[in-house]
Every structure is written in C-alpha cells, then in structure tokens.
Amino acid sequence: MTPTTAPVAKPVISREADILDLAPVIPVVVVDSVEQAVPLARALLRGGIPVIELTLRSAAGLGAIEAVASEVEGMVVGAGTVVTPEQVRQVQDAGAQFIVTPGSPPRLLEAALASGLPLLAGAGTLTEMLTLAEAGLEAMKFFPAEASGGRPYLSAVSGPCPQLRFCPTGGITRETAADWLALPNVGCVGGSWLTPKDAVAQGDWARIEALAAEAAALRP
C-alpha cells in the first residue's frame, strides 16, 4: 500500500489585510526554471520571509507556484502578474493562496473575486482605488508605485481614504523600502531585490537568505 503524503502546513490567510501583515517585504519573483523555485522559497523562509509572489512573467511561473505550494511548509504562495480570468483559474488549481494583479479591469476583477482567494488588485490612481473599495477591498497593490506618484501621492491618498491599506510595488529598492514602510497606509512593500537574477541563476541561496533577513528586520 502506497503511503500518502500529508499536505504541507501553511499559515492561514483569509483576507487581503492578512497578506500585508505577513512580512514587511513581499518578494516579487521571476524564475526561469521550476527547479529554482523550491530552494529559493526555502532560503527566503530561513531568512524570516514567509511569503512569496511567484509571477507568471515566465513559462516556469505556474509550475513554480505548484512546486512551492506543495513542497515548502510555512510559505504562503501568491501568484503575481495575473492578467486574465483564465490565469485566475490556473493559479488557483496550482495551489496559490492569494492573487496579485497589476490592474483591475472588470472581467479580471470579477474572476479574481469569484475565486474566493485573497486579492491584491493593482491600482495606480484614486479612481481605481475607490473602484476597488466599492468592490469590498480595503487592501490593495499600489502599482507602479514610483511611476504613479511615489510616496507623496500615496501619503495624500490617506486623507480621503484613511481606511485603505497598500502594498506598493514597482521601483521600490533596498534603500527606499523603509521610507515607504513609514507611511501610515502602507502595510508592506513588494520588491525584487531579495532575489537578484544572478543569485538565482547561480543557486546562491545563502545570499538570498541574508537579503531576506535584512528585509525581515525592517519591521520591529
């Protein structure tokens, strides 16, 4: 009789706000091969970052989500750069625990909400933010953060919309992350600097673990 493999344990997240509280930085990751995904995720976890956004920007993205979701205990796996309703279904089937979109056109937003998964939908203007708020979302992605007005813009948003919280992503660096996190309406930031392309290609997991530890320390 073939023994069954128990599913790996995952932190429970049931709403968008839970995602923002997992870590000060959500690594936004592109992998070129599925084989890179599991050791990369484990390095982030050892460094104190229990969340990862694996994007669909490469052919390996969907397989990487499935691999990390099934093999890395303690890691919350999100699917990023989800841009079609069909991709919503695919990432849900692969085991993604939350969805991240760069924008929120009606069909995509409808499919993502219908999935039942927590959603960080992208918004770059106040109108887009209010549209998402009307749909019941109080936590969202501010994207592209630097190009959409940066910290001054997002700080101004807190006046008319104090209930909204954000994960700014796009142009945020190791050097500027702390300044973004100091804004009262920012719960976390998204960034790619935790997983440099050369470190991933070389399998330099110790370097990624060290960058993760540095990022984890941004929240006392």
Q: Judge contact between 80 and 119, C-beta under 8 A.
A: no
Contact 60, 41 (CB under 8 A): no
Q: String of b and e for 48-81 (b: at least 16 CB within 10 Å)? A: bbbbbbbbbebebbbbbbbbbbeebeebbbbbbb
**Catalytic-labelled residue, pool 16, 66, 128, 141:** 141
Amino acid letter, 133: A
d(CA 128, CA 102): 12
Which residue(s) pair with 29 in the sheet?
54
Catalytic residue among 53, 66, 128, 146: 53
197 given a catalytic annotation: no
Q: Is 10 considered catalytic here?
A: no
Which residues carry out catalysis? Answer: 53, 141
